[in-house]
């Protein structure tokens, strides 16, 4: 059961018209507020990034902020606001799939052991499922997977799955800070693999004959 806290206002920072949801940026607040099309009191409207909106700020069962009883305000749009891209980022998808492909080729050439390939595939699958669960929970006001846990899964090797989920599921693809941390986990993983492949540590990866 949610509880109405206060009537607030802000600007729609991002909006996915195909999915019917977006995020509101409140002035002087770092945390964005989730906004679903069903939150609007008036039906048949088409919000856009940059629209000013007034709403009731509520908390769901997981303590996440979302908008309810929303209505668009007059005054036009803020040109600096953006719209969520409806098409997946080919770059992110290419990076994720290329990494798995390189691991598979490296294993076939006996440059890495099988466990390393299976580890990254398994970690990516678990991470992809976690993203899917979190998105489903967000839509149904159920238990959410925290952003910290999602980042830890990526850091533990599931970042290819995170990149694929972010683009294919269109989840966590609008928050700049989240994406920045995700790419840091990618960099940490690639840096670690590079360091482990230094000549003095090659014994960890050379296939036994």
Confidence of residue 81 (pLDDT cuts 50, 70, 90): very low
Highest mean pLDDT among 39-53, 117-131, 142-156, 165-179: 117-131
Q: Beta partners for 70?
A: 40
Please classify residue 159 by burial: count the beta carbons closer than 10 Å to its beta carbon, then call 0-12 exposed, 13-18 middle and 19+ buried. Answer: buried
Q: Which residues of the chain are in CATH 2.40.50.140 domains?
A: 3-77
Q: What is the mean pLDDT of the chain?
A: 81
The answer to whether residue 184 scores a pLDDT higher than 50 is yes
Q: What is the reported pLDDT for 101?
A: 95
The answer to whether residue 200 scores a pLDDT higher than 80 is no
Answer whether 0.85 is exceeded by the pTM: no
**What is 3-77's CATH number, 2.60.40.1260, 3.40.50.720, 3.40.1710.10, 2.40.50.140?**
2.40.50.140
**CB 67, CB 55: distance < 8 Å:** yes
Tell me which residue of 137, 152, 206, 142 sits closest to 182, measured CA to CA. 152
Q: Please report, for residues 20, 22, 32, 62, the alpha-carbon distance to residue 81 in angstroms, rounded to integers and kept in the order given.
A: 17, 12, 13, 28
Q: What is the reported pLDDT for 198?
A: 65
Share of the chain above pLDDT 70, in %: 81
Average pLDDT of the segment spanning 106-123: 92
The answer to whether residue 59 scores a pLDDT higher than 90 is no
Q: What is the reported pLDDT for 78?
A: 43
Confidence of residue 103 (pLDDT cuts 50, 70, 90): very high
| Unique residue bearing structure tokens 């490296």 | 106
Least confident of 13-22, 40-49, 74-83, 184-193: 74-83
Least confident of 32-36, 81-85, 117-121: 81-85
Q: What pLDDT digit, counting tens, does each position of 88-100 carry?
A: 578 999 999 999 9
Q: What is the reported pLDDT for 75?
A: 53
Q: What is the reported pLDDT for 14?
A: 82
Confidence of residue 141 (pLDDT cuts 50, 70, 90): low
Interacting residues of 151 by C-beta distance below 8 A, sequence separation 6+: 181, 182, 185
């Amino acid at each position: 059961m949610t509880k109405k806290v206060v009537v607030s206002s802000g600007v729609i920072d991002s909006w996915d018209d195909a999915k019917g949801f977006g995020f509101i940026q409140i002035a002087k607040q770092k945390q964005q507020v989730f906004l679903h099309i069903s939150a609007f009191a008036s039906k048949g409207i088409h919000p856009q990034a940059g629209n000013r909106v007034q709403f009731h700020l509520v908390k769901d069962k997981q303590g996440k902020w979302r908008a309810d009883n929303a209505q668009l305000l007059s005054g036009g749009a803020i040109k600096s606001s953006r719209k969520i891209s409806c098409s997946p980022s080919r770059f992110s998808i290419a990076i994720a799939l290329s990494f798995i492909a390189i691991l598979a080729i490296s294993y076939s050439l006996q440059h890495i052991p099988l466990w390393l390939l299976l580890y990254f595939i398994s970690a990516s699958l678990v991470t992809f499922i976690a993203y899917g669960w979190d998105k489903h929970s967000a839509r149904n006001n159920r238990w959410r997977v925290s952003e910290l846990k999602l980042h830890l899964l990526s850091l533990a090797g599931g970042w290819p799955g995170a990149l694929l989920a972010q683009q294919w599921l269109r989840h966590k693809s609008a928050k700049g800070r989240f994406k920045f941390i995700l790419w840091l986990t990618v960099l940490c993983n690639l840096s670690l693999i590079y360091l482990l492949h230094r000549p003095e540590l090659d014994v960890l990866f050379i296939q036994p004959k």
